[in-house]
Amino acid sequence: MVDFKGKVIYVFLLLLLLVISIGFGYFKMQGFSTNVDNISALEFAKECVLFEPPKAVTASTKTIDVKVTYVDYYTICKEEEKTSKVIYGSTIDNVKELEKEYQEKNGLSYEIDEVTEDSITYKRIINGNCPNHFKVIYEENKLNVYTVKGEDKFELLMSIDNLNIDNIREELKVKIMRGTYINSKTELNRFIEDLQT
* Whether residue 45 has pLDDT greater than 90: no
The string of pLDDT tens digits covering residues 140-193 is 889 999 998 877 888 899 998 888 888 888 988 899 999 999 988 999 999 988
pLDDT of residue 55: 54
pLDDT of residue 36: 47
Structure letter (DSSP) for residue 12: H
Lowest mean pLDDT across 3-17, 33-47, 179-193: 33-47
* Whether residue 72 has pLDDT greater than 60: yes
Distances (CA, A) of 155 to 53, 130, 160: 63, 13, 15
Q: Averaged over 109-131, what is the pLDDT? A: 92
23 SS3 class: helix
CB-based contact 164:170 (threshold 8 Å): no
Strands across the sheet containing 119-126? 79-90, 64-74, 119-126, 111-115
Lowest mean pLDDT across 21-25, 36-40, 98-102: 36-40
Strand 153-160 relative to strand 111-115, pairing: unpaired
* Whether residue 95 has pLDDT greater than 90: yes
pLDDT of residue 6: 78
